[in-house]
Amino acid sequence: MTLNLSASPHVRDRWTTSFIMHTVLLSLVPAAAVGVIVNGVHALLVILASILAAVGTEALFCLLTKRPLSIGDGSAAVTGMLLALSLSPITPVVYPVIGSIFAILVVKCCFGGLGKNFINPALAGRCFLLISFGSAMTRFPMLDGITSATPVAQLAAGKAVNITSMFLGTSNGVIGSSILALLVGGLILWGLDIIHGEICFAVLGGFTLFMGLFGGQGFDPKFLLAHLCGGGVIMGAFFMATDYTTSPVSRLGQLVYGCLIGVLGAMFRIFGHNADSFSYSVIIGNLFTPLIDMYIIPKPYAYHKKAIRAASGIKLPPLRQRIPKPVVALALITLIAGVALSGVYDMTKDTIEEQKKAASAASYRAVVPQAVAIEESEAAMEAIEALGGQVYGTKFGKAYINEAYVGKDEAGNVVGYALSVTSGDGYDGNITLSVGLDAEGRVLGIAFTELTETPGMGMRADEDAFKGQFAGRLVSQFVHNKGGVPGEDTIDAISGASTTSGAVVNAVNAGLDFFHSVLQGGK
Amino acid sequence: MRDTFRGGVHPKGHKDLSREASLRVFDAKGEMVFPLAQHIGKPAKAIVKKGDAVLVGQCIGEADGFVSANVIASCSGTVKAVEKRRTIAGVLQECVVIDNDGQYTETGTFGQRQDISGITNEEILRRVQAAGITGLGGAGFPTHVKLAPKAPLGIKYVIANGAECEPYITCNDQLMRGYAKEIVEGMEILLRLFPNAEGVIAIEGNKPEAIAAMEKAVAGHPRMRVQKLRTKYPQGGERSLISVIAGVDYPTSKLPADVGCIVDNVGTIYAVGRAVIYNEPLFRHVISVTGEGVQTPSNFIARDGTSFAEMIEAAGGLKTGVEPKKIISGGPMMGLAVSTVEVPITKTTNAVTVLLSDEVEKASLKMTTCLHCGRCTTVCPNGLMPQMMADAVIAGDLERYEKKLYGLDCIFCGSCTYICPAKRPLTQTFKQIKAEILAKKRAAQAAQGGGK
């Protein structure tokens, strides 16, 4: 009788690395299935190509470096799956293959394989593709076949989005964009204790809080939901940020890490212009993980202050006496102020909205003074709709056409046009202005409806010395003149604020271009 | 009130194998081997020599100093040898070997119920010491030392540990079912030593019959109660119990008595009652012989010194047609695997577990690198960070291991190793590194002492 000898414990839990990885893989199947059903068979090809490339790369690496074959643990397949789900369903099949090879070979295998990668391989693969094939990567189908903006791009442009279709995954976006399916998978993983709730909910919490505080629309549930449902927040929170290797081990560390990712994600959304920013915030979180793990080490229970007091029989005075009064007072004031502010915001929200509209209407009248009636133009509306909130043209920087109206006299003759144009290139935020044009395209005048530039510098755009330059001139495009010779079509820059004046010139030019291509001819 | 500690794991219990098997007295037939070191502290000194005749209950090894315990003969016969024999630990240790005459003639100094209402606390402790009682739960700490803390009046809880959280083992379950009254008598004696303490009999919820029996027995004792605990490993660990019952977590630098607690196994408390009331030394105790590899998994009252082979025979022998893979002294979470069945059971052996499959062997084939999944940190009952500790060991950073990660506070319960999906040998690493660190410290101390 030969008896085995080993140190205790002599029993082991049934869960293995491979079991966990395959469960994660399975939990992604609903999202993949919805993606394929909604987007068609090409999405399935993308998924299969991505997984096969990931697994194949790892197998090849193991063979060439004479390591034990590690594809059985399922982690390479998970990487391939995650990468595919974060790609557009019309991505050429070669992209996921390249992305998977990069993810597995460079980010995972070269750093030591499973458990040693320093950032999430799938996200690294995705960002590698984004950087390499920029525009092709961000091309998404509309369901009727027309390329269009994703909901997040629309959100960024201040457009309304259909939250229901985002939730179900029927709006255009990446393959794994069905929030419902992702949530099903993610919550199952959480229920099984495979992913840490601390991370998911800290990401979502941090994101929502920051978005609510600084997103400009308060804690409007529709606005917040739209942001949560778009741009990979859910996939990031449940499947990307929770990657074991690249997230902290301690509970507190996980909360810090999750909040960091959530806040960064919201910051990028609000202040940045890249719809893919959530991937980057997770990667930045990944990079902070070693630092967090180095410094946030929870003490064993016996060394918690409370435990030490309990063990040595020291009793603390009641809570009320331990918190200094000023702290209580400050907390109360903050609370009251917060409630009051959000109350005021809620009460005035509609009024502000109305006033904004009234201001726009007033500015249209101001720039097309001859008109007695300002009417909608069907052609303009269609053209604007087709833009889908995208940047207008290529020559005008970040210019957006918001609205366009036709001005008519008493007899119903067209006497001019009023356009609202926004430039995102202002020195300090957006600049929105209304341009009035007569039927030939002569500028009647411009008026600002949104201008928050530096007082004394950019704000001087609103002085007649600058904005008066546009009025009465008939040109196809204005030229921003920074100290050159003035000519027929030149607008002198505001000295010391050429960013602002350049943005204004671009905005007016965008308006002119839109006029010539869409409105002229009395359509 | 909390019904459990933080962390912990749920290994499969396997208690159904033997839980309904009532305690049977088993008297061995073959030679009996008594290691002189079956407790924590200095080994006892043999006070018999080859050829001496001994009786049941006779002291054959005398405690050497305060932290040591007497070794008692459990059979009558002739001393065959005082020599090195293989023990459970796998090494050769000094043992008294007795040629068992099978008569079991007792010394006659015990067995008679005495009136103990008049005896002093000193007399109680003396009787406990003379009986050679050590903790029967695992470590084998001499009980007379444990029962003599610096401040007996500061003891708030005397905890009778009937948790029995190790898989397979059921002997304490049966002891509580059959000997509830005797355990309560033992507890009464302990409460005499600690007049300010409450006696808490702590039992895991998977033993409803034992809970009912103990509840019936404590009825009418104002200073005693039964506390049901959640079934979770290591619920029966000293720290886990204190954390639940007294609400205190304490570091390794402190003893339970420092935080107002005395924890004793129910078997130990039973033995205290026998020793004080009947003057009976500790030479037999309860033990489970169980596992998939034995014919009739059973619970016994068996005599110290009986060989594993005889214990397995008593349970109907090994199952025929199958080869046991592993035999464990104790349960599978903290027990010791033995290389041969020719080793004796000692005071601390609460089970002989015969396994037909070795999960360690199977798991070693599925070992991967650490995933950093953090499961080990969520199950550690002490709130340690096993994964970081293992990383520190690999990096050779023992400073971080000891100071930042409190690695020496590990109690080797095995929960982290049990749960690890990557099948890393965590507990094993920590055991080894603790030995290394302590050895280095001793060497440093010795060097310092030599320099002076």
Q: B387 vs A73: CB contact, 8 Å cut-off?
A: no
Q: A302 vs B249: CB contact, 8 Å cut-off?
A: yes
- Distance spanning both ends of chain A, measured CA to CA: 98
* Burial grade of B385 (CB within 10 A; 0-12, 13-18, 19 or more): buried
A179 Ramachandran zone, left/alpha/beta (phi>0; psi -120 to 50) = alpha
Counting every residue, how long is chain B? 452
Contacts B259 to A, Cβ<8 Å:
310-311
Is A244 part of the contact surface with chain B (CB cutoff 8 Å)?
A: yes
Query: B287: Cβ–Cβ under 8 A, 6 or more apart, which residues?
Result: B171, B299, B300, B301, B302, B311, B345, B349, B350, B351, B352
A284 Ramachandran zone, left/alpha/beta (phi>0; psi -120 to 50) = alpha
Confidence band of A145 (pLDDT split at 50, 70, 90): very low
Task: Say what the pLDDT of residue A147 is.
Answer: 43
Q: Please, what is the average pLDDT of chain A?
A: 85
Task: Say what the pLDDT of residue B450 is.
Answer: 57
Nearest to A16 among B335, B366, B427 (CB): B366
Q: How far apart are CA A31 and CA B395, in angstroms?
A: 40
How many other CB atoms are found less than 10 A from the CB of residue A141? 17
Which tokens is A159 given?
A: 């457009």
The complex's ipTM?
0.90
Domains belonging to chain A, first-starting first, are 17-295 (1.10.3430), 355-519 (no CATH)
What is the distance in angstroms between the Cα of A306 and the nearest Cα belonging to chain B? 9
User: Any idea what DSSP says for residue B345?
Assistant: -
Q: How far apart are CA B142 and CA B271, in angstroms?
A: 13
Q: B339 vs A3: CB contact, 8 Å cut-off?
A: yes
Confidence band of A408 (pLDDT split at 50, 70, 90): confident
Strand partners, A399: A423
Is B181 part of the contact surface with chain A (CB cutoff 8 Å)?
A: no
A289: nearest CA in chain B? B372
Task: Say what the pLDDT of residue A159 is.
Answer: 63
What is the distance in angstroms between the Cα of A297 and the nearest Cα belonging to chain B? 7
Strand partners, B53: B78
Residue A48: pLDDT over 50: yes
B335: nearest CA in chain A? A8
- Series of mean pLDDT values for 10-residue runs along chain B (452 residues): 84 94 93 93 94 95 92 95 93 94 92 91 95 88 93 94 95 96 96 95 96 95 94 92 92 89 96 96 96 95 96 94 93 94 94 94 89 92 94 92 93 94 94 92 82 48
Contacts B431 to A, Cβ<8 Å:
7
Counting every residue, how long is chain A? 523
Span A231-289, pLDDT tens digits: 889 999 999 999 999 999 988 999 999 999 999 999 888 887 666 788 999 999 999 99
Residue B234: asked if its preceding bond is cis (omega within 30°), the reply is yes
What is the distance in angstroms between the Cα of A255 and the nearest Cα belonging to chain B? 14
Is A12 part of the contact surface with chain B (CB cutoff 8 Å)?
A: yes
What is the distance in angstroms between the Cα of A317 and the nearest Cα belonging to chain B? 19
Which tokens is A230 given?
A: 């778009």
Contacts A112 to B, Cβ<8 Å:
369
What is the distance in angstroms between the Cα of A179 and the nearest Cα belonging to chain B? 25
Contacts A11 to B, Cβ<8 Å:
11-12, 167, 332-333, 359, 418
Confidence band of A143 (pLDDT split at 50, 70, 90): very low
Contacts B420 to A, Cβ<8 Å:
12-13
How many other CB atoms are found less than 10 A from the CB of residue A65? 9
Which tokens is A447 given?
A: 């008026």
Domains belonging to chain B, first-starting first, are 1-27+111-357 (3.40.50.11540), 364-451 (no CATH)
What would the mean pLDDT of A107-128 be, rounded to a whole number?
93
Span A295-305, pLDDT tens digits: 888 999 988 88
Task: Say what the pLDDT of residue A274 is.
Answer: 65
Q: How far apart are CA A364 and CA B213, in angstroms?
A: 90
* Residue A417 and residue A408 in contact, taking contact as beta carbons nearer than 8 Å: no
A294: nearest CA in chain B? B388
Q: DSSP letters along B103-128, please?
A: ---B-SSS-S----TT--HHHHHHHH
Q: B388 vs A293: CB contact, 8 Å cut-off?
A: yes
Task: Say what the pLDDT of residue A144 is.
Answer: 42
What is the distance in angstroms between the Cα of B131 and the nearest Cα belonging to chain A? 31
Q: How far apart are CA B293 and CA A3, in angstroms?
A: 12
Q: A70 vs B368: CB contact, 8 Å cut-off?
A: yes
What is the distance in angstroms between the Cα of A131 and the nearest Cα belonging to chain B? 29
> pTM here?
0.77
Interface of B with A in 90-149 (CB under 8 A): 90
Q: A249 vs B374: CB contact, 8 Å cut-off?
A: yes
Confidence band of A372 (pLDDT split at 50, 70, 90): confident
Is B12 part of the contact surface with chain A (CB cutoff 8 Å)?
A: yes
Helix intervals (H) in B203-282: 208-218, 238-245, 266-278
Q: A6 vs B360: CB contact, 8 Å cut-off?
A: yes
Contacts A195 to B, Cβ<8 Å:
none
Is A6 part of the contact surface with chain B (CB cutoff 8 Å)?
A: yes
Is A62 part of the contact surface with chain B (CB cutoff 8 Å)?
A: no
Confidence band of A486 (pLDDT split at 50, 70, 90): confident
* Burial grade of A471 (CB within 10 A; 0-12, 13-18, 19 or more): middle
Nearest to A4 among B337, B366, B383 (CB): B337
Interface of B with A in 19-78 (CB under 8 A): none
Task: Say what the pLDDT of residue A347 is.
Answer: 77
Beta B92-100 vs B32-35: how paired, if at all? antiparallel
CB pairs under 8 A between A and B: 178
What is the distance in angstroms between the Cα of A304 and the nearest Cα belonging to chain B? 9
* Residue A401 and residue A428 in contact, taking contact as beta carbons nearer than 8 Å: no
Nearest to B373 among A12, A244, A310 (CB): A244
Is B383 part of the contact surface with chain A (CB cutoff 8 Å)?
A: yes
Which tokens is B131 given?
A: 């009986």
Is B89 part of the contact surface with chain A (CB cutoff 8 Å)?
A: no
What is the distance in angstroms between the Cα of B288 and the nearest Cα belonging to chain A? 17
Beta B351-355 vs B71-72: how paired, if at all? unpaired
Q: B423 vs A247: CB contact, 8 Å cut-off?
A: no
CA-closest candidate to residue B201, choices A440, B380, B191: B191
Is B340 part of the contact surface with chain A (CB cutoff 8 Å)?
A: yes
Confidence band of A463 (pLDDT split at 50, 70, 90): confident
Q: How far apart are CA A33 and CA B348, in angstroms?
A: 58
What is the distance in angstroms between the Cα of A95 and the nearest Cα belonging to chain B? 28
Contacts A8 to B, Cβ<8 Å:
328, 332-337, 412, 414, 427
Q: A9 vs B333: CB contact, 8 Å cut-off?
A: yes
Q: How far apart are CA B56 and CA B51, in angstroms?
A: 16
Task: Say what the pLDDT of residue A156 is.
Answer: 63
B249: nearest CA in chain A? A302
A246: nearest CA in chain B? B372
Is B326 part of the contact surface with chain A (CB cutoff 8 Å)?
A: yes
Residues A123, A126, A132, A135: what is their CA dihedral angle, to the nearest 10 degrees? Answer: -130
Q: A10 vs B335: CB contact, 8 Å cut-off?
A: yes
Confidence band of A330 (pLDDT split at 50, 70, 90): confident
What is the distance in angstroms between the Cα of A213 and the nearest Cα belonging to chain B? 33
- Distance spanning both ends of chain B, measured CA to CA: 54
For the beta sheet containing B326-329, the strands, ordered from the edge strand earlier in sequence to the opposite edge, are B23-26, B298-303, B284-290, B351-355, B326-329, B336-338
Span A334-368, pLDDT tens digits: 888 878 877 777 777 777 778 877 878 888 888 88
What is the distance in angstroms between the Cα of B114 and the nearest Cα belonging to chain A? 39
3-state secondary structure of B59: strand
Phi, psi of B118 (to 5 degrees): -95, -10
What would the mean pLDDT of A289-298 be, rounded to a whole number?
90
Is A68 part of the contact surface with chain B (CB cutoff 8 Å)?
A: no
Q: B337 vs A9: CB contact, 8 Å cut-off?
A: no
